[in-house]
Structure 1
């Protein structure tokens, strides 16, 4: 199951958002409230994993490591 990142939605200017992670099924609805405090939350969209791929055989260092 994937781990999702959420953050609290500040209710006033003095509050800072607090991030937390939770494991959920992909079919589960996104949380709307913090599971412990009940404070409103939103899901944070994060980037995925990027794997560099070289179009040149051997890349920049001729070792075949795809670093180019």
Structure 2
């Protein structure tokens, strides 16, 4: 099961949110309250793991032939 990061939603603008982790099934609904304090919470989105390879045959990130399209080219990896 994945571990999700949540943070409390501060009542005051200068308050610091508390971050905590919860192990949940992907089918579970996101929490709306802290499990212990019952304060309102929101789930924090974090980046995932991405692996790029370059120069292999059939590679989506290979340098395209011809003029660049949509800002891609010069070896940049674009997912158009």
When normalised by structure 2's length, the TM-score is: 0.64
**Larger radius of gyration between Structure 1 and Structure 2:** 2
Greater relative CO, 1 or 2 (CA 8 Å, sep 6+): 1
Structure 1 outlier segments of 4+, above 2 Å: none
Task: Quote the offset at 1:56 in angstroms.
Answer: 5.0
Matches within 5 A, 1:42-61: 42-55=42-55
Q: Secondary structure at the match of 1:13?
A: coil
Aligned twin of 1:66: none
How many residues are matched?
57
RMSD of equivalent CA atoms: 1.4
Aligned twin of 1:6: 6
Residue by residue over 1:16-66, the C-alpha shift from the partner in whole angstroms, topping out at 9 and shown as x without a partner, is 111111000011010000001111000011110122312258xxxxxxxxx
Matches within 5 A, 1:1-68: 1-55=1-55
